[in-house]
């Protein structure tokens, strides 16, 4: 090959750049999160009586060192509410009380609603959505199978390491029967659910962008590492050289995510069609064909009649209009049957997911530009965290990658997961950047506790249910959220956990609670309520929204449409479903209040409750107020509250039901309902 | 008494609670903030032409293209294009010199042409993505393969709003296709920086409303009584213990109540004179819809909203003439020419043009080479196109940059979309390198690691 002067300059520059960019791996490896997890000894504390679990010892030791005491135990009613929302995302049954806390926690975790609540947390992390978003918003009409897989996994308390392996490489695992094989392949939807630029004309760029999204998601979700940062240059802060990025990218290049890159590109789906399914589809198609024949035969006959009756040589344009009344009616009937058959398409079952392609290695693309290939990188895992040995040329390396991540010796996986669980219970992680454990992430507030939990989690079979029980049974979790003066002074931001956090209900528990207290919530588990043709654009050039959210099923089953998330979700801090997010925001904005004041959902809910309330003919107004307080707050009103509420209803307006609806709306808009103390 | 500083320290939510605290003190979380340096513009009205108007048919006259009609493009086309195109296609429209500057404008925009002495034409703009979705996202967020905050969200994060009863960023009748909400979203910025959509592209401007702005059942008096009752419930719940989170929630209902009145007032144009309505083309069925959008934009700008986007995009991809160029572009231009001209005139007459930056742009331009056998279409062209600005600190009657002789590639004084963003922020008094937000351990900005301010166009 002849080298031009320009190429030479380019090579020189590239070499100089890569020399300047060299990362000091040994130095980078010293970062706390890359150190092996060592289970620390439990610290000693003075106030031994307070301690219920080892967690409490870590928390209390720090508090005592700062001269603080933990907040008193939460009021039983507040604690009951907190536990119900933590485990099921739903309010307690009105008039119920917790008798035995330990067994109550167990009971809650055994309900199917537990899996739904915890699946939703995980879906935040894996940027779950029912449409592609980005440029061409194609429907992920089969994404729900992955969602069901996640719900089932949490309900079954699938060991987290196994859960991780299945999501990266379930299709490559040995199978134990058809059902398991199917589940494992559905699990790989994890890699396929990301937003893709489906109309990217540069196909190589499209492919590299998809791979980048997979690496970015995998890194943040499972390892707390921003691996995607190393695409264009060595990672600026963490020991991830560009070479390691392309070594990982090779694994995904060796994986088949897409079926077609032609605009609009199509992702791959695993087919689960059995011969029986195929037969049913054929049968349905045969029915359509037959009906078409019937219609054609009828038209031919009717046309013939027309020619004879009107004594014509040639058929007029639009002959149907000239048919006899009976013929017209008959034809319309036949056509409507045909339409119905055609509309009722028989869809063969399939699920988004990946499988192995041809094992290949990628070159480094200089500055992330695929038109500037550099040196070929054998596939391997990041060298700062592994031996960096090349993966065999015979496999994609995906299964090996999964096993490396889900290994008990990987310093990040367990730490990242226990921190996520902690974050979901307390509103803030021990590491406050749950998706970034790298140098730019925030250091843990309680490093020993984090390590102790990570080690305990692995020892206990990576069981999320056990971890949840451990946390919920702790005195730390059971504290009141009321700060005392000393705590406000010394621990103003509650980093030391001197009290429980005050938290607003997230979007889904808020919506589910509204339906629950008005007796409308449908607790059916699994499946899909959204029927939309797979790959079809949810928004094409029109901006008309064909998606509705009127179902009474739990919020987790409502479609998540990227680029146009359900307004209730959008307003109440549902995370952007296009990116990994283990740390939902908790904002207070005026449009949330507009929603509570004016939205159809809130009005419908309160109207339903008012109707139910007035249907209780035997109740007087005071008793009605009590009924309402018990439903909404799970407590009886004080005499004063009762008097005030009755007065409000009497004065609000002439129409009784409207007045009760207005009262009900005030209660569900109140802080006592919206916040968990 | 608790000081503001105490309150800041006592909240546990980091940045978001700064906003909460302001709210607690009776301020809007979007309260106006100081810019980095003296701003030339206080607000932006962004007129977005969806689909991609052809620059060589509107504002950039190309004599060689007219001369060489039917000949092959004398240099290579890009390696990757959206669709295949053939030989050169001369503009079917005549150009004429206007104003003191003598800038040439095609007969598609006779009304806007009268304002050339107030307009700064940027002929060397280029982007990266040749598909609608990617190009829209690039233009609105600076990124086409990741979800990033939109330009308007960055501006409201940087500057806040001047009106306590209104959001800082509104977008009138935006399109839900091709990036949809992401084009006005806040991504990882706190939610109150997101644009507030008023209707969408499938809704007529006269029916466009903010979500849930109107109560379906109660009279204002009843709702006031209900909110007063709610306030009592919330005060009891506080139990006399100060709590910034709960108190800001209480205040958010008051702000919402005020917004309910403020928003419809702005949208209610009954108070505008007949002359003003005519100016915007409200008296004509062709221009009525976009004219109303432009008039609303002025009313929002007047009341202190920082960033107002107006989208020319109904249920079709407006300016996307792969075929039927003559008919399509004529139609589209006739819908917007009068309203835009009216807006510029009105802003100037009211003294608003001095500190309002008006930006006109599509997501890309179109190719000088023909698409389709009908000799009547052009493909997408992100490699070189025209954008223009007016008012707010840019030189009027000025042209900056150019494409090549035929209009394919930006050639002289090129401005990438990142440069456009840097320049818009600069005009607002913001240093695009300083306006950052830390997310997931990294400082992000609108211009990523790019962006140069086009100093040449500043007054």
Query: Tens digit of pLDDT for each residue in B181-192?
Result: 889 888 888 777
pLDDT tens for each residue of A40-79: 999 999 999 999 999 999 999 999 999 999 999 999 999 9
Chain B (52-111) residues lying within 8 Å, Cβ to Cβ, of chain A: 80-82
A627, burial (CB in 10 Å: exposed 0-12, middle 13-18, buried 19+): middle
In a domain, A623, yes or no: yes
Contact status of B261 with chain A (Cβ, < 8 Å): no
Number of residues assigned to chain A: 677
A650 touches chain B (CB under 8 A): no
Return the CATH number at B356.
Answer: 3.40.720.10
pLDDT at B13 over 50: no
Q: Does a structural domain hold residue A542? A: no
Q: CA A195 to CA B134: how far, in whole Å? A: 12
Q: What pLDDT score does A374 carry?
A: 94
pLDDT number for residue A411 = 97
Query: Does residue A151 fall inside a structural domain?
Result: no
Q: What DSSP character marks residue A34?
A: G
Instruction: pLDDT band for B27, please (50, 70, 90 cuts).
Output: very low
Average pLDDT of the residues in A265-286: 93
100-139 in chain A: CB under 8 A from chain B: 133-137
Tell whether B23 lies on the interface with A, counting CB pairs under 8 A: yes
Report which of A32, A71, A27 is spatially closest to residue A50, judged by C-alpha positions: A71
- Kindly state the tokens that stand for A468: 């949840």
Round to whole Å and give the CA distance between A115 and A150: 8
DSSP state of B362: E
Q: Average pLDDT, whole number, for chain B?
A: 88
Length of chain B: 459
Strand B415-416 and strand B437-439: the pairing is unpaired
Residue A655 touches partner B, C-beta closer than 8 Å: no
Residue A638: the pLDDT is 96
Helix A112-125 × helix A413-426 angle, to 10°: 120
Quick one: what percent of chain A has pLDDT higher than 70? 96
On the 0-12 / 13-18 / 19+ scale of CB atoms within 10 A, A53 is middle
Contact A223, A416 (CB under 8 A): yes
Find the domain containing A310 and state its range. 273-348
Residue A669 counted as domain residue: yes
B128 in A contact zone (CB under 8 Å): no
Structure tokens at B428: 């607002």
Domain count for chain A: 2
| Cα(B446)–Cα(A525) distance, integer angstroms | 42
Query: What are the E-state strand segments in B325-376?
Result: 356-362, 365-370
Q: What is the pLDDT of residue A18?
A: 46
How many Cβ atoms sit within 10 Å of the Cβ of residue A668? 23
3-state class (DSSP) for residue B321: coil
Q: How far apart are CA A199 and CA B141, in angstroms?
A: 18
The beta strand positions in A105-173, using DSSP E, are: 137-138
Helix (H) or strand (E) run with residue A17 in it: helix A5-21
Give the C-alpha distances (Å, rounded to integers) separating B232 from A474, A554, B246. Answer: 35, 32, 13
DSSP annotation of B32: -
Contact B216 A502 (CB under 8 A): no
Residue A677: partners with Cβ closer than 8 Å, 6 or more residues away: A74, A75, A78, A81, A82, A480, A481, A482, A500, A502
CA A293 from chain centre, in angstroms, equals: 47
Give B195's pLDDT tier (boundaries 50, 70, 90).
confident
Do the Cβ atoms of A587 and B192 come within 8 Å? Answer: yes
For residues A427-451, give the mean pLDDT: 94
* A466: enclosing H helix or E strand: helix A464-472
Nearest residue to B52 (alpha-carbon basis) of B112, B139, B115: B139
Q: Domain for residue A655, yes or no?
A: yes
The single residue listed with the structure tokens 């349905």 is A284
Expressed as residue numbers, the domain containing B174 is: 12-213+274-457
B236 within some domain = no
* Selected residues 402-421 of chain B with any CB under 8 Å from a CB in chain A: none
Q: How far is A370 from chain B (nearest CA, A)?
A: 13
Minimal CA–CA distance to A623: which of A649, A598, A651?
A649
- Determine, for residues B176 and A564 on separate chains, whether the beta-carbon distance falls below 8 Å: yes
Residue B104 within a domain: yes
Residue of B nearest to A501 (CA): B12
Residue A12, pLDDT above cutoff 50: no
Task: Collapse the DSSP code of B43 into the 3-class scheme (helix H, G, I; strand E, B; otherwise coil) and give the result.
Answer: strand
**Cβ within 8 Å of residue B383, ≥6 positions away:** B78, B126, B408, B409, B410
Percent of chain B predicted with pLDDT > 70: 92
What whole-number distance in Å separates Cα of residue B388 and Cα of residue B372? 29
Residues 6+ apart with CB under 8 A from A175: A181, A184
CB contacts, 8 Å: A438 with chain B: 441
Confidence (pLDDT) at A11: 43
Q: Within a 13 Å sphere around the CA of A58, how many CA atoms are in the beta-carbon half?
A: 20
- A71/A81 Cα distance (integer angstroms): 18
B308's enclosing H/E stretch is: strand B307-312
**pLDDT exceeds 50 at position A15:** no
Angle at A127 between CA A522 and CA A155, to 5 degrees: 45
CA neighbor of B152 nearest in space, from B287, B25, B309: B309
User: Phi/psi at B391 (nearest 5 deg)?
Assistant: 75, -155
- CA A345 distance to own-chain centroid: 29
pLDDT at A2: 40
Q: What is the rounded average pLDDT for all residues in chain A?
A: 92
Q: Which residues are within 8 A (CB) of B174 and not within 5 positions of it... i.e. 6 or more apart?
A: A543, B183, B184, B195, B197, B200, B201, B309, B311, B313
CB contact under 8 A, A135 and B133: yes
Tens digits of per-residue pLDDT, A476-528?
999 999 988 888 888 888 999 999 999 999 999 999 999 999 999 999 999 99
State residue B33's pLDDT score: 78
**Local structure of residue B326 (DSSP, 8 states):** H
Q: Average the pLDDT over B434-454 and give the result.
A: 87
pLDDT at A305: 87
**pTM for the model:** 0.80
488-517 of A, contacting B, C-beta below 8 A: 488, 492-494, 501-502, 504
Radius of gyration of chain B (CA): 23
List B388's β-bridge partners, or say none.
B121, B360
**What are the structure tokens assigned to A142, written together?**
């089969």
Phi and psi angles of residue B49, each rounded to the nearest 5 degrees, phi first: -100, 95
- Residue with the two structure tokens 């009290």: A499
Q: How many CB atoms lie within 10 A of CB A259?
A: 11
pLDDT digits (tens, 9 = 90+) for A529-539: 998 899 999 87
pLDDT digits (tens, 9 = 90+) for B374-386: 889 999 999 999 9
The pLDDT score that the predictor gives to residue B301 is 94
pLDDT, average across residues B116-145? 91
B196 in A contact zone (CB under 8 Å): yes
Number of domains in chain B: 1
Contact indicator for B95, B76 with CB cutoff of 8 Å: no
d(CA A442, CA A436): 8
- Tokens 């994060």: give the residue: B157
Name the nearest CA neighbour of A115 among A73, A158, A177, A162. A158
Phi, psi of A670 (to 5 degrees): -85, 160
Answer whether A433 sits within 8 Å of B441, measured CB to CB.
yes
**From the CB of residue B289, how many other CB atoms can be counted at a distance below 10 Å?**
20
Q: Name the DSSP letter for residue A139.
A: B
Report the alpha-carbon distance of residue A641 to residue A670 in Å, rounded: 14
Nearest partner of B367 among B90, B16, B156, B17, judged by Cα: B90
Beta bridge partners of B87: none
CA neighbor of A525 nearest in space, from A150, A162, A177: A150
pLDDT in tens, B264-306: 888 889 999 999 999 999 999 999 999 999 999 999 999 989 9
Contact, B55 vs B69, CB < 8 A? no
Place of tokens 């060589």: B56
Whether residue A513 lies inside any domain: the answer is: no
Higher pLDDT, B161 or B353: B353
Tokens 């006005």 -> residue: B184
The predicted-structure confidence for A334-389, as pLDDT tens digits, reads as follows: 999 999 888 887 888 999 999 999 999 999 999 889 999 999 999 999 999 999 99
From chain A, pick out residues whose CB is under 8 angstroms from the CB of B441: 226, 237, 433, 436, 438-442
B24: nearest Cα among B260, B255, B305, B257 = B255
What pLDDT score was predicted for residue A543? 67
CB of A418 closer than 8 Å to CB of A119: no
CB A154 within 8 A of CB A126: no
pLDDT in tens, A16-38: 344 444 788 888 999 999 999 99
Q: Assign A5 a pLDDT band (cuts: 50, 70, 90).
A: very low
For A506-568, the DSSP string reads: PHHHHHHHHHHHTT--B---SS-S----TT-EEESSS----------B-GGGS---TTS--HH
Whether A589 and B191 lie within 8 Å, measured CB to CB? yes
Query: Quick one: pLDDT at residue B24?
Result: 36
Residue to substitute from A214, A215, A505, A541, interface B, most B β-carbons within 10 A: A541
Q: How far apart are CA A55 and CA A477, in angstroms?
A: 10
CB A31 within 8 A of CB A384: no
**At residue B432, what are phi and psi to the nearest 5 degrees?**
-65, -20
- What pLDDT does residue B14 have? 30
């Amino acid at each position: 090959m002849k080298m031009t002067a320009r190429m030479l300059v380019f090579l020189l520059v590239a070499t100089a750049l890569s020399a300047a960019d060299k990362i000091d791996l040994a130095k980078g490896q010293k970062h706390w999160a890359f150190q092996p997890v060592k289970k620390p000894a439990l610290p000693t504390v003075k106030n031994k009586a307070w301690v219920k679990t080892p967690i409490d010892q870590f928390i209390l030791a720090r508090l005592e060192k700062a001269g603080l005491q933990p907040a008193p135990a939460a009021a039983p009613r507040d604690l009951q509410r907190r536990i119900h929302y933590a485990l099921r995302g739903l309010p307690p049954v009105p008039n119920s009380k917790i008798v035995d806390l330990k067994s109550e926690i167990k009971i809650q975790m055994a309900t199917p609603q537990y899996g739904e609540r915890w699946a939703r947390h995980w879906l935040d992390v894996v940027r779950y959505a029912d449409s592609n978003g980005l440029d061409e918003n194609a429907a992920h009409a089969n994404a729900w199978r992955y969602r069901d897989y996640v719900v089932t996994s949490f309900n079954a308390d699938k060991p987290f390491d196994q859960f991780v392996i299945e999501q990266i490489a379930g299709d490559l695992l040995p199978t134990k029967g058809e059902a398991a094989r199917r589940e494992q392949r559905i699990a790989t939807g994890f890699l396929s659910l990301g937003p893709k630029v489906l109309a990217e004309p540069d196909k190589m760029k499209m492919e590299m962008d998809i791979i980048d999204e997979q690496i970015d998601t995998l890194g943040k979700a499972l390892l707390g590492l921003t691996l995607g940062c190393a695409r264009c240059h060595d990672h600026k802060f963490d020991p991830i050289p560009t070479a390691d990025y392309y070594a990982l990218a090779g694994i995904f290049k060796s994986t088949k995510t897409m079926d077609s890159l032609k605009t609009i590109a199509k992702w791959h789906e695993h087919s689960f069609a059995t011969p029986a399914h195929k037969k049913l589809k054929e049968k349905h198609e045969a029915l359509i064909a037959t009906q078409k024949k019937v219609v054609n035969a009828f038209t031919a006959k009717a046309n013939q009649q027309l020619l004879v009756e009107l004594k014509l040589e040639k058929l007029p344009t639009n002959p149907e209009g000239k048919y006899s009344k009976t013929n017209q009616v008959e034809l319309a009937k036949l056509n409507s049957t045909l339409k119905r058959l055609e509309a009722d398409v028989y869809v063969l079952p399939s699920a988004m997911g990946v499988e192995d392609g041809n094992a290949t290695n990628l070159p480094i693309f200089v500055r992330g530009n695929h038109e500037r290939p550099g040196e070929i990188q054998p596939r391997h895992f990041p060298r700062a965290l592994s031996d960096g040995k090349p993966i065999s040329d015979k496999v994609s390396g995906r299964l090996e990658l999964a096993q490396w991540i889900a290994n008990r010796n990987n310093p990040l996986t367990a730490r990242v997961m226990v921190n996520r669980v902690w974050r979901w219970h307390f509103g803030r992680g021990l590491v406050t950047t749950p998706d970034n454990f790298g140098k730019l992430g925030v250091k843990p507030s309680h490093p020993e506790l984090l390590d102790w939990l990570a080690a305990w989690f692995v020892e206990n079979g990576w069981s999320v249910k056990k971890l949840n029980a451990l946390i919920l049974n702790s005195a730390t979790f059971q504290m009141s959220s009321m700060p005392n003066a000393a705590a406000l002074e010394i621990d103003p931001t509650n980093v030391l956990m001197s009290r429980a956090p005050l938290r607003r209900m997230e979007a889904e528990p808020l919506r589910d609670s509204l339906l629950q207290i008005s007796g409308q919530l449908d607790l059916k588990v699994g499946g899909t309520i959204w029927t939309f043709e797979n790959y079809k654009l949810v928004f094409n050039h029109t901006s008309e929204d064909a998606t509705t959210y009127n179902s009474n099923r739990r919020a987790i089953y409502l479609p998540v449409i990227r680029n146009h998330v359900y307004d209730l979700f959008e307003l109440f801090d549902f995370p952007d479903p296009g990116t990994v997010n283990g740390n939902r925001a908790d904002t207070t904005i005026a449009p949330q209040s507009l929603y509570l004041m004016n939205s159809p959902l809130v009005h419908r809910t309160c109207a339903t409750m008012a109707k139910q309330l007035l249907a209780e003919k035997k109740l007087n107004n005071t008793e009605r107020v009590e009924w309402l307080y018990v439903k909404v707050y799970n407590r009886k009103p004080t005499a004063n509250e009762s008097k005030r509420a009755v007065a409000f209803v009497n004065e609000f307006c002439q129409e009784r039901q409207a007045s009760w609806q207005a009262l009900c709306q005030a209660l569900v808009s109140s802080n006592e309902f919206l916040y968990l103390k | 008494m608790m000081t503001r500083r105490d309150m800041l320290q006592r909240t546990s939510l980091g940045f978001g609670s700064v906003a909460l605290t302001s709210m607690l003190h009776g301020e809007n979380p979007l309260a106006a903030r100081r810019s980095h340096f003296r701003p030339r513009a206080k607000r932006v009205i962004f007129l977005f032409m969806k689909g991609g108007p052809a620059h060589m048919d509107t504002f950039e006259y190309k004599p060689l293209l007219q001369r060489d009609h039917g000949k092959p493009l004398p240099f290579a086309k890009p390696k990757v294009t959206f669709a295949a195109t053939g030989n050169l296609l001369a503009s079917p429209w005549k150009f004429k010199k206007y104003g003191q500057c003598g800038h040439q404008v095609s007969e598609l925009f006779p009304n806007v042409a009268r304002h050339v002495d107030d307009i700064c034409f940027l002929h060397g703009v280029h982007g990266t993505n040749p598909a609608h979705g990617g190009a829209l996202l690039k233009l609105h967020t600076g990124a086409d393969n990741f979800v990033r905050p939109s330009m308007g969200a960055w501006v409201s994060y940087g500057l806040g709003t001047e009106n306590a009863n209104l959001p800082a960023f509104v977008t009138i009748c935006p399109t839900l296709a091709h990036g949809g909400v992401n084009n006005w979203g806040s991504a990882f910025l706190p939610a109150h920086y997101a644009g507030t959509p008023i209707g969408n592209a499938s809704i007529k401007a006269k029916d466009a409303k903010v979500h849930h702005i109107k109560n379906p059942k109660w009279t204002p008096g009843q709702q006031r009584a209900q909110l007063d009752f709610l306030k009592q419930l919330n005060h009891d719940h506080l139990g006399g213990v100060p709590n910034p989170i709960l108190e800001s929630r209480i205040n958010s209902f008051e702000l919402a109540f005020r917004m309910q009145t403020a928003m419809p007032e702005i949208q209610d144009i009954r108070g505008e004179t007949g002359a003003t309505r005519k100016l915007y083309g409200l008296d004509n069925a062709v221009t009525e819809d976009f004219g109303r959008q432009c008039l609303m934009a002025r009313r929002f700008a007047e009341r202190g909203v920082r960033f107002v986007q107006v989208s020319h995009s109904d249920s079709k991809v407006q300016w996307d003439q792969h075929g039927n160029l003559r008919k399509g572009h004529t139609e589209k231009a006739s819908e917007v020419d009068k309203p835009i001209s009216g807006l510029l005139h009105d802003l100037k007459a009211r003294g608003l043009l001095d500190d309002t930056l008006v930006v006109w742009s599509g997501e890309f331009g179109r190719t000088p080479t023909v698409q389709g056998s009908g000799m009547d279409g052009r493909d997408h062209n992100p490699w070189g196109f025209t954008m223009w600005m007016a008012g707010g600190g840019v030189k009027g009657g000025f042209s900056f940059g150019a494409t090549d002789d035929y209009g394919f590639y930006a050639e002289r004084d090129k401005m990438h979309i990142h440069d456009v963003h840097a320049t818009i922020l600069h005009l607002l008094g913001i240093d695009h390198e300083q306006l950052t937000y830390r997310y997931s351990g990294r400082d992000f900005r609108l211009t990523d690691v790019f962006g140069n301010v086009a100093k040449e166009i500043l007054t």
